[in-house]
Structure 1
Amino acid sequence: MNKKLLEEVQLKNRIYQKILDEIDVGVHVINSDGKTMIYNKKMRTIEGMNIEDVLDKNLLDVFSFHKNEDSTLLQSLHKGIRINNAKQTYFNNKRQEITTINNTFPIDEDGTRVGAVEIARDVTKLEKIIRENILNKGDTKYTFDSIIGLSEEIREVVEASKRATRTSSSVLIIGETGTGKELFAQSIHNGSNRSAMPFISQNCAALPDSLIEGLLFGTKKGAFTGSVERPGLFEQAHGGTLLLDEINSLNPALQAKLLRAIQEKTVRRVGDTKDRSIDVRIIATINEDPIDAISEGRLRKDLYYRLGVVSLFIPPLRDRRIDIRSLVQFFIDKYNHLFGMNVSEIDEDILEMFMQYDWPGNVRELEHIIEGAMNLMDQEDTLQYSHLPIQYRNKRQFKNEATSKANDLLIQKGKDIKPLEQYMEEAETYYLKKVLQHHDYNITKSAKALGMSRQNLQYRLKKYEISKS
């Protein structure tokens, strides 16, 4: 082969490689021995692999299947068959599950089988979500008894929610992130005459538009490359409740289709011409003021009016601070059970901090603080400042509250100066109490930390009348 011809062949190979890496489908080619010859960029992304992990390696040395014959590539290679729109689930070398829709065909040259080609589309994420939704049908654990709080603000919402269980009207639940919107949605479902039917929840912000439409409305086989006959969430929730979380994240075109489905009580699968009747109660949630979402184009006005037949406003935690104490105790009890611990109380100083904090993450943030703190505890039975996750101990607001007691001992302008002996006694009493709490009232550990003998510490405790109670 002359130099010019060689350069042309090399150029063509580079062009072919560039094309393979730019196309939005996975391409995997094996030779007659089952070893990988071509493995493009998209396929590497789908399977989470590096090219050196796969190229020139035997297929079965890299990937595992439930049965070797489940590999569509090997079926095509060994049987000489073309396989179209076949769903395949298998595992990469890290044991991560992958699901693809494949078109696979053998490569023959002069009557001899030289390899096989697979063109794949990734449906791993979609398959996982659909499987979880199907498994979770009717798996609603929350009722109105699960809602913690005696504040007037939360009880008003609970009463309004209970009234909403009597009908099948759409419900729009409005509240900041972490306020417990799904808890209310499940409680409404479980309190209604639909409680024995499916409850299916979908976060609309979790998927791109290209997946969410097929997930909601279903797909018809052959509607697009790799599509299979599959009912959507509306059909799966027939007779029950469909919760659409963060409805304001859907694009306007999908919101229009959703509005049509709610109004006409029918859905049309993607690629189909047939309308299917549905009997589904829609509960939607939004994490911002719907008027702001409408004015800024994130929520269609007509959809808002349709969904907001019943509108529930879940108050943020900062507006129901009276409930913090009971919520804290509930979460302590919850994680005592999960962790096998025996925490009985929380330091009053921490509760004071909690009452002053703004709680941007609401009840969910409070739960995470308690869970994180209990992970840092040993055998103590009182949750204290030192147990709080470091990111909270570093917050200026918490630091200020933590030192407020000590600051009370300082000289303040305009106030009488305490006698030195009284000041020293108060300061020593406060410090001894904190050290004892930190060491769960263990005298030996506290004395060691203070640099004194047990006898000396016990003398001071008796002197200042300090006890665990």
Structure 2
Amino acid sequence: MKGKGELPVLPDVYKQLLDAVDVGVHVVDLEGRSIIYNKKMSEIEDMDKEDVLYKSIMEIFLFQSEEESRLLQALKHGANQKNTKQTYFNFKGQEITTVNDTFPLLDAGKRIGAVEIARDITKLEKLTREQTREKHSLFTFDQIVGESPSLLEVIERAKLATRTTSSVLIYGETGTGKELFAQSIHTGSERATGPFISQNCAALPDSLIEGMLFGSVKGAFTGATNHPGLFEQANGGTLMLDELNSLSAPLQAKLLRAIQEKSIRRIGDTKDRAIDVRIIATMNEDPMTAIAENRLREDLYYRLSVVSLVIPPLRERRDDILRLAFSFIMKFNKRFMLQVRGLSKEVAELFAHYDFPGNVRELEHVIEGAMNVMYDDEEIEYSHLPTHMRTKFPKPDQLVQVEYSTPISAIQPLHHVMEEMERTYVKKSLESFQGNITKTAEALGLSRQNLQYRVRKFNLR
């Protein structure tokens, strides 16, 4: 049952149907809270349902303002958009590109929510950006920012790898800068005058990636032409294979053969072609874990890991955060024609305590997003930061102390405890601002509507 102007509660059978469809479905209620988030949307955005359900859009995505969210525009203004592309970032700093149908949900002509139906094109979008890079556009070791001992050690190992043509395996979390190291190894080696080609192995299915890597001959399959693959295109240079562990076992076997024999055979061909290519492979998971879970052939791992580099995550080299932030400020000053000099003391302190799950890439996006909302400011202030950071780190002068303890004999289910803690925190925050909804919402990093929902939920007025 539902009241007038409210979204109905879905029976389990409908939830099962939504989880079975091959498009993402995301529904928000009148307060902008996520109330339906199906399995496909969870896969597209790489977030668990628990991270999304019953939270506001601004809490779970790196939008600078509500105007960037098409769901909120549909909810608040009735905007109806069909088959439109959108690129955005989840709270982990991961870039996502989808083609969406977004529209309001109506009951008797009154808006009661909004829905977004999404088709994932993230991999294809990245693929269009991947192409042979000219030498002048590639990174060098001098452009790697950081002085932490763990980073300097990796840089020195990578520089030693420029003296040979041995294969290199680079492991690091998403956003740590693996391709930056791969490009620097190439530009610092004798192959610098040759091509550098990068291919994300997860971007396409095996049926297409095989042809891209090894090429094809006319008549090999319907529509096939005489086409050199990336190995031939990278001849005399370097081929970077990103997300290597996403390749199927048969393709990994074929790749191993090509590396060992220094030759490839195009699809449909009868002859082998000699190649002179250095392979640099990258992975965003521990190779030993990938081997144990049968996502990476052990023999291929040992063949590629002649030189192994492990890029430390940003949280393990916090001394580099301010250096990186300043370098990104200089970069976007030129792009946006601004004159930002640095970070406020408050923001610098916040950065020092934030884990940056998206690593260097997330830090760059945060700086870029902040500078998008600046005009003549000289420093990046707390108010310029994205919502997800302000939610996690309220301003120091607006923090309230919440005391909560319970005897072991009175242990309650966790969600009850968390709800009571939330109620106490919201109540004391409101008291700190004499009940002012606008100021309290800003301090908590919430929208007015989101805070008002909690006030009603906890019967605080």
What TM-score, normalized to structure 2? Answer: 0.59
CA distance in 1, matches of 2:357, 2:123: 31
Mapping of residues 120-139 of structure 1, within 5 Å: 135-138=132-135
Could you tell me which of 157, 168, 174 is aligned with 1:171? 168
Higher relative contact order (CA 8 A, sep 6+): 2
Residue 154 of structure 1 aligns to which amino acid in structure 2?
L
Q: Secondary structure at the match of 2:309?
A: strand
Q: Deviations over 1:402-427 (max 9, x none)?
A: 2x3455999xxxxxxxxxxxxxxxxx
Q: Taking structure 1 as reference, are residues 322 and 225 closer, same or farther at Cα in structure 2, changes over 3 Å only?
A: same
User: Is the counterpart of residue 337 in structure 1 residue 334 in structure 2?
Assistant: yes
* Counterpart for residue 31 of structure 2: none
Q: Is the 8 Å Cα contact of residues 132 and 196 (structure 2) preserved in structure 1?
A: no
Could you tell me which of 310, 321, 329 is aligned with 1:324? 321
* Counterpart for residue 161 of structure 1: 158
* Counterpart for residue 365 of structure 1: 362
Q: Taking structure 1 as reference, are residues 346 and 168 closer, same or farther at Cα in structure 2, changes over 3 Å only?
A: same
User: Is the counterpart of residue 348 in structure 1 residue 345 in structure 2?
Assistant: yes
Q: Is the 8 Å Cα contact of residues 335 and 371 (structure 1) preserved in structure 2?
A: yes
Q: Secondary structure at the match of 1:261?
A: helix
CA distance in 1, matches of 2:330, 2:239: 31
CA distance in 2, matches of 1:154, 1:344: 26
CA distance in 1, matches of 2:371, 2:274: 50
Q: Is the 8 Å Cα contact of residues 140 and 190 (structure 1) preserved in structure 2?
A: no
Q: Secondary structure at the match of 2:393?
A: helix
User: Is the counterpart of residue 398 in structure 1 residue 393 in structure 2?
Assistant: yes
Could you tell me which of 262, 266, 272 is aligned with 1:269? 266
Mapping of residues 299-448 of structure 1, within 5 Å: 299-393=296-390, 395=391, 397-399=392-394, 402=395, 404-405=396-397
Residue 307 of structure 1 aligns to which amino acid in structure 2?
L
Q: Taking structure 1 as reference, are residues 131 and 381 closer, same or farther at Cα in structure 2, changes over 3 Å only?
A: closer
Q: Deviation of residue 131 (structure 1)?
A: 8.6
* Counterpart for residue 185 of structure 1: 182
What is the RMSD computed on CA atoms of the aligned residues?
2.7
CA distance in 1, matches of 2:277, 2:361: 29
CA distance in 2, matches of 1:222, 1:291: 40
Q: Deviation of residue 370 (structure 1)?
A: 0.3
User: Is the counterpart of residue 219 in structure 1 residue 216 in structure 2?
Assistant: yes
Q: Give structure 2 stretches of 5+ with no counterpart.
A: 1-82, 86-121, 403-461
When structure 1 is superposed on structure 2, of 351-360 and 295-304 the one drifting more is 351-360
Q: Secondary structure at the match of 1:338?
A: helix
Q: Secondary structure at the match of 2:152?
A: helix
Q: Deviation of residue 267 (structure 1)?
A: 0.3
Greater gyration radius: 1
* Counterpart for residue 144 of structure 1: 141
Q: Deviation of residue 356 (structure 1)?
A: 1.0
CA distance in 1, matches of 2:128, 2:350: 43
CA distance in 2, matches of 1:157, 1:326: 18
* Counterpart for residue 285 of structure 1: 282
Q: Deviation of residue 135 (structure 1)?
A: 4.9
Q: Is the 8 Å Cα contact of residues 127 and 200 (structure 2) preserved in structure 1?
A: no
* Counterpart for residue 6 of structure 1: none
Q: Is the 8 Å Cα contact of residues 138 and 200 (structure 1) preserved in structure 2?
A: no
Q: Give structure 1 stretches of 5+ with no counterpart.
A: 1-93, 97-124, 411-469
Q: Taking structure 1 as reference, are residues 380 and 145 closer, same or farther at Cα in structure 2, changes over 3 Å only?
A: same
Q: Taking structure 1 as reference, are residues 126 and 382 closer, same or farther at Cα in structure 2, changes over 3 Å only?
A: closer
What TM-score, normalized to structure 1? Answer: 0.58
Q: Is the 8 Å Cα contact of residues 137 and 200 (structure 1) preserved in structure 2?
A: no
* Counterpart for residue 203 of structure 1: 200
Q: Secondary structure at the match of 1:231?
A: coil
CA distance in 1, matches of 2:285, 2:398: 40
Q: Work out the number of aligned pairs and report it.
A: 285
Q: Is the 8 Å Cα contact of residues 140 and 186 (structure 1) preserved in structure 2?
A: no
CA distance in 2, matches of 1:155, 1:325: 16
Q: Secondary structure at the match of 1:149?
A: coil
Q: Deviation of residue 391 (structure 1)?
A: 3.1
Q: Deviation of residue 360 (structure 1)?
A: 0.9
* Counterpart for residue 234 of structure 1: 231
Q: Taking structure 1 as reference, are residues 310 and 209 closer, same or farther at Cα in structure 2, changes over 3 Å only?
A: same
Mapping of residues 91-130 of structure 1, within 5 Å: none
Q: Give percent identity, aligned residues only.
A: 60
Q: Deviation of residue 217 (structure 1)?
A: 0.2
